[in-house]
Amino acid sequence: MRNDPATIQRLLTTPGTWAVVGLSGNTARAAYGVSALVQSLGHRIVPVHPRAETVHGAPGVRTLAEIPEPVDVVDVFVNAGLAGAVVDQAIAAGAGAVWLQLGVVDEAAATRAEAAGLDVVMDRCPAIEARRLGLGV
């Protein structure tokens, strides 16, 4: 079920690898702060950005396909018009979940992800959800 509260809590509290698509060293972008919070909750982050920058001490990659280990959550910080392609890449990579950030809505992509067996969180922010759950923020 999309945006299931129990799934949101499990994703935030079970340590795993989060590929943060759109994360760069730009401190003014929401992805920068949210990824720091995700990292503070005990998750390993992998910045995914064309520049493959190291962010918060985590080496970056250019694409999801370059991540050598399984990815638990693909956190999507791209324009909604680009989200479908990222979701398709997450499915191809065998990710466990996709988390589309606030304002990132792609119903067709979410449906594809669910059909492929991925957990789907859409139009939500991990920082807001963590605060709501009282998780160290």
| Domains annotated on the chain, with CATH | 5-133 (3.40.50.720)
137 falls in which pLDDT band (50, 70, 90)? low
Q: Which of 117, 135, 33 has the alpha carbon at shortest distance from 75?
A: 33
Cα 58-60-66 angle, rounded to 5 deg: 125
Measured CA to CA, the distance from residue 122 to residue 124 in angstroms comes to 5
Return mean pLDDT, the chain: 96
- % residues pLDDT > 90 (the chain): 98
- Summarised one tens digit per residue, pLDDT across range 12-61 is 999 999 999 999 999 999 999 999 999 999 999 999 999 999 999 999 99
Question: Chain-centre distance of CA 55, in angstroms?
Answer: 15
Mean pLDDT of 62-69: 95
Contact present, 82 and 59 (Cβ < 8 Å): no
pLDDT at 135 over 70: yes
| Number of other CB atoms surrounding residue 28 within 10 Å | 6
Q: Which of 67, 119, 111 has the alpha carbon at shortest distance from 93?
A: 67
Question: What's the pLDDT at 1?
Answer: 80
Mean pLDDT of 89-113: 97
